[in-house]
Structure 1
Amino acid sequence: MDVDAVGEFWAWWEADAAGRIAQGAEGYAENYVKQLGQRIGRIDPGLAWELGPGTTAEHELVIFPESPEHAALARRVLKAAPAPDRHWEYTDARQAAARFEDLTLGVGGEEFAGEDFRVGLMRNRYSADISVYHPKLGRLPEDKRLVPVAIMLDHAIGQQDVNAWIGIIEPVLQPHPGDIPLSDLPAVVQQLRAGAFDGHGEPIWEELHGRSVEDRPITAYVQVPLVPAFWPDFDQHIAVQLGYAQILDDGLPGEESGRRLQAMEQALAEALNGNGRLVAAETTDGRRILHFYVDSTTSAGWDLEAAAAAWKEGQTGVGAELDPGWSGVNHLRIR
């Protein structure tokens, strides 16, 4: 991220642009909106923006990623934003529209009314795969049909929820009898969210069991949902491997080693100081691998490595890689 470009953008915004655009002053607002796009492009071409009505303020500025690879950047730009006031609020993802079905989107010379979209739904445990139909999709080239679908999904349930709860998205040219209006999809998302978050708004954890390539038992604990949508700036995967001494016949830890591992896990989580989170743990054949995702612009990775050095019961290993899509834990994701 170009820190200077971000600082310059928000300084320009606060000094003059926010007031001019909010007032819609004749001869000024249009020019400032043009500059807005140019200045956000200077931060990174992978960022897009929209202006709209706010939820608590009069207006909202959305600076959002064009692709998941830029989600961390969008979140960091948001963190540098000024405090919201009665005129402006800020977000890094498209928000769901209050009356989505009243929207009409122009793409490729065609108009796509929100009320005409239909969704075929296949529910998984913690996500949904969907097919999306609109009578005008067939008028677009095949490689352009996802564009109106993706934009309308963002406005129907919000960009963050699309990334968190929707898996496969397939534009289709024929409706199916069981399709639902796209305006009904928020209720489906609410059900998925209710099953994955506890009463404090934290992800629940699930226990998984399997066999290693050596045919040894593996036990894993994973957070649900195991996706970066709610923590986009945690873009670096840190895997901490801890060997333990008390190994049972099945390779899992005995009671004493289990207590020490739990204490070490807590110490590592505290070392993050809010700059990351533990998202999964795998245990097999005398070793536990803790999967952390941290903010790569902070010292969190080094802090974890330093804290892991206190583990004396067995061998310790720490590996790190940039992984904004959380592909390092794909094999543990429960759909």
Structure 2
Amino acid sequence: MRLFRRRSADPTVDGTPPDPRTPWPDQPVPSDADAAAVTFWERWFELLPQVSAALGDREPHRVEHDLCELVEALHPRLHFSLERGRTAVYALVVSGQEDPELRPFTDAWKAAAPPDDAIWEYHDSVPPVPDPAGVTVNLGEHRISLGDVRVVAQVDGDVVDVAVYHPALVELDEAARTTMTFLPLDATLGERLAAERLRRVETAQAEPAGTISLGELRDLVRGLNERPGETVGGSG
């Protein structure tokens, strides 16, 4: 279950996506990140009964508008999602997509967050899923199992260049293909580790030789300090 922030003003008149760094019209950037974070959490607890009811009814769209406004007030370029939690029932993720200009706002948001409990946990970047091989992504008419994603990874010091392959990628349009190139990596590594350790990311149109699974990629990236400067492949 995931509810991503949607921006009704995203496409321009000719259908070209806008610069994601451009704030929404008439939406000011708060001058005090700490104060904005405190306001966020006050409003969050006011909304929480409605959020809980919508999630309990499996109708998260009922609170999407309110949550969009809440996150935009913290900073208009932040994104959010509601997820299944790793240890709690639900997780609220507020992410700046590793933009350094947004880090003060996500840092303040996380610092002011309440402690995780049995119902809610809070993340300032998209966390990895426990087992990416068990995830299936519904993308239009396509159901894409991340268990079928294969990766070629080349390590260069403390960063990795990767090429991502899935047999369904050739059937997707360019935007969907880009999504399905990066989504498996974020799901496997988490947004922050992927941003820190992945340098060049490419889409492979045909399956390359010497690929590894997403689980093997996770082990590789987490163990970079022990395995510098090599190309890694295998049957997975």
Report the TM-score when normalising by structure 2: 0.71
Structure scoring higher RCO (CA < 8 A, sep ≥ 6) equals 2
Please tell me whether residue 146 in structure 1 is matched to residue 178 in structure 2: yes
Do the aligned partners of 1:46 and 1:66 also contact (CA within 8 Å) in 2?
Answer: no
Task: Pick the aligned partner of 1:160 from 192, 197, 210.
Answer: 192
Do the aligned partners of 1:96 and 1:158 also contact (CA within 8 Å) in 2?
Answer: yes
Q: Tell me how far apart the structure 1 counterparts of residues 186 and 227 of structure 2 sit (CA, whole Å).
A: 21
> Which structure 2 residue ranges, 5 or more long, are not aligned?
1-28, 229-236
Do the aligned partners of 2:40 and 2:70 also contact (CA within 8 Å) in 1?
Answer: yes
Task: Pick the aligned partner of 1:137 from 132, 145, 169.
Answer: 169
Q: CA deviation at 1:38?
A: 2.8
Q: Tell me how far apart the structure 2 counterparts of residues 85 and 93 of structure 1 sit (CA, whole Å).
A: 18
The total of aligned residue pairs comes to: 195
Q: Tell me how far apart the structure 2 counterparts of residues 106 and 5 of structure 1 sit (CA, whole Å).
A: 35
Aligned residue number for residue 105 of structure 1 = 137
Q: CA deviation at 1:113?
A: 1.6
% same residue: 23
In the TM superposition, what whole-angstrom CA distance separates every residue of 1:197-234 from its partner, at most 9, and x where no partner exists?
xxxxxxxxxxxxxxxxxxxxxxxxxxxxxxxxxxxxxx
Do the aligned partners of 2:186 and 2:194 also contact (CA within 8 Å) in 1?
Answer: yes
Aligned residue number for residue 53 of structure 1 = 84
Aligned residue number for residue 261 of structure 1 = none
Do the aligned partners of 1:115 and 1:183 also contact (CA within 8 Å) in 2?
Answer: no
Task: Pick the aligned partner of 2:73 from 11, 22, 42.
Answer: 42
Report the TM-score when normalising by structure 1: 0.52
Do the aligned partners of 2:127 and 2:190 also contact (CA within 8 Å) in 1?
Answer: yes
Instruction: Map 1:1-335 to 2 at 5 A.
Output: 2=30, 3=32, 5-17=36-48, 19-22=49-52, 24-26=55-57, 30-66=61-97, 68-72=99-103, 73-107=105-139, 109-142=141-174, 144-192=176-224
Deviates more, 1:154-163 or 1:132-141: 132-141
Runs of 4+ in 1 over 6 A off after TM superposition: none
In the TM superposition, what whole-angstrom CA distance separates every residue of 1:181-201 from its partner, at most 9, and x where no partner exists?
2232111012115679xxxxx
Do the aligned partners of 1:133 and 1:175 also contact (CA within 8 Å) in 2?
Answer: yes
Q: Which letter does structure 1 place at the counterpart of 2:212?
A: I
Q: Which letter does structure 2 place at the counterpart of 1:182?
A: L
Change (3 A) 1:29 1:191: closer
Q: CA deviation at 1:22?
A: 3.8
Change (3 A) 1:28 1:188: closer
Q: CA deviation at 1:148?
A: 1.7
Do the aligned partners of 2:97 and 2:191 also contact (CA within 8 Å) in 1?
Answer: no
Q: CA deviation at 1:172?
A: 1.3
Do the aligned partners of 2:77 and 2:96 also contact (CA within 8 Å) in 1?
Answer: yes
- SS where residue 89 of structure 1 aligns? strand
Change (3 A) 1:125 1:22: same
Q: Tell me how far apart the structure 1 counterparts of residues 58 and 198 of structure 2 sit (CA, whole Å).
A: 42
Q: Tell me how far apart the structure 2 counterparts of residues 66 and 45 of structure 1 sit (CA, whole Å).
A: 13
Change (3 A) 1:125 1:15: same
> Which structure 1 residue ranges, 5 or more long, are not aligned?
197-335
Q: Tell me how far apart the structure 2 counterparts of residues 61 and 133 of structure 1 sit (CA, whole Å).
A: 30
Do the aligned partners of 2:153 and 2:217 also contact (CA within 8 Å) in 1?
Answer: no
Between structure 1 and structure 2, the one with the greater Rg is 1
Aligned Cα root-mean-square deviation (Å): 2.7
